[in-house]
Structure 1
Amino acid sequence: MNSKETEDKISLRELVDSISILADKKDVHAQVQLFSENATSETYVNGKPFLKLKGRIEMEKGFAKFLKNVEIVYHFNGQQQVTIQGNSATGTCYCLITMIGTEDGKKIQTTIGAVYQDTYIRENNRWLINERIGNFEWQEKHKINP
């Protein structure tokens, strides 16, 4: 691996981590700026379509709606593999998502095991996500003490 490829892999990891950190802060406006203008984001829960969004404006509205009843959210990104080909790349990232919110007047913790399949593009010398497919492969919910 040459130094340019190493730099790109570090930049792609920072991109994925930045998207997660901004989601944790619920700063969806800043988060969607890390996607290309006409990017797509699809989410599947147990293999079934849950959310399909295209473009930053639609993504901002969709992400905000998804998080509206969530008080606290944490993403823990794990393994990531990327393949780089010039100004485009593909990658897979495993993520553990923990959300705490209120459902029916009770504090509920939801933990999700997610795998993201991303397509990246380099625009104006920076990496952006052009397509993200999120597979929420498992989910666990339980009541927590306030």
Structure 2
Amino acid sequence: MENQEIAHRLALRELVDTFSNLADEKNVAAQMALFTPNAHINVVMEGKEVFDLNGHQQILEAFSGYLVQFSVVYHLNGQQTLEIDGDSAKGIAYCQVVLIKEENGQRIKQTSGVRYQDRYVFNNGKWLISERLSDFMWTDIQPI
């Protein structure tokens, strides 16, 4: 593997990890810098599409509206596979997401297994997410 490819792989891993770190901070505005202006995101939960988002404004509104209900947002990223072809790439990344909220005086923990299927573009010296399918494959909800 050549140095350029290694650098791209590291940058793409950092892109995915930075997305998760900013989600944990609920800093959705900063996440927008990780997407192309016309990015497309689909969010699927247990086989049902819950969001079909186009562009920064729709993504910002949907992510902000969703995350505001949780007191704790915690992502733990796992394996990532990538196929890089010049200034474009596609990848799959796995993540466990823990969300905690209060409901009727009870703390509730929602844990999900997420598989991100991404398309990336290299633009002005950095990688950006142009498309993302966020597949929440399973979710477990329990009081804590």
TM-score normalised over the length of structure 1: 0.97
Following superposition, the deviation at residue 89 of structure 1 comes to 0.1
Query: Which consecutive residues of structure 1, in runs of 5 or more, have no partner in the other structure?
Result: none
- Name 1:31's counterpart in structure 2: 31
- Aligned to 1:63, the other structure's residue is in SS state helix
TM-score (norm 2): 0.98
Gaps of 5+ in 2: none
Q: How many residues align?
A: 144
Structure 1: how far apart are the matches of 2:80 and 2:10? 11
Q: CA deviation at 1:78?
A: 0.1
Matched residue of 2:29: which SS? Answer: helix
Matched, 1:130 2:130: yes
**How many Å separate the matches in 2 of 1:85 and 1:17?**
21
The residue that corresponds to 1:56 in the other structure is 56
> Aligned partners of 2:32, 2:128: CA distance in 1, in Å?
10
CA RMSD of aligned residues (A): 0.7
> Cα deviation per residue 1:46-91 (whole Å; 9 max; x = unaligned)?
1110111110111011000111110101100100000000000000
Map of 1:77 onto structure 2 = 77
**Partner secondary structure for residue 70 of structure 1:** coil
Residue 143 (structure 1) aligned with residue 143 (structure 2): yes
Post-superposition offset of 1:104: 2.7
- Offset of 1:136 from its aligned partner? 0.4
**How far apart are the structure 2 equivalents of 1:142 and 1:77?**
22
Deviation above 6 Å: which 4+ runs of structure 1? none
Which stretch shows the higher mean deviation, 60-69 or 97-106? 97-106
Residue 93 of structure 1 is matched in structure 2 by: 93
Query: Offset of 1:4 from its aligned partner?
Result: 0.3
Offset of residue 105 of structure 1: 2.7
% identical equivalent positions: 41
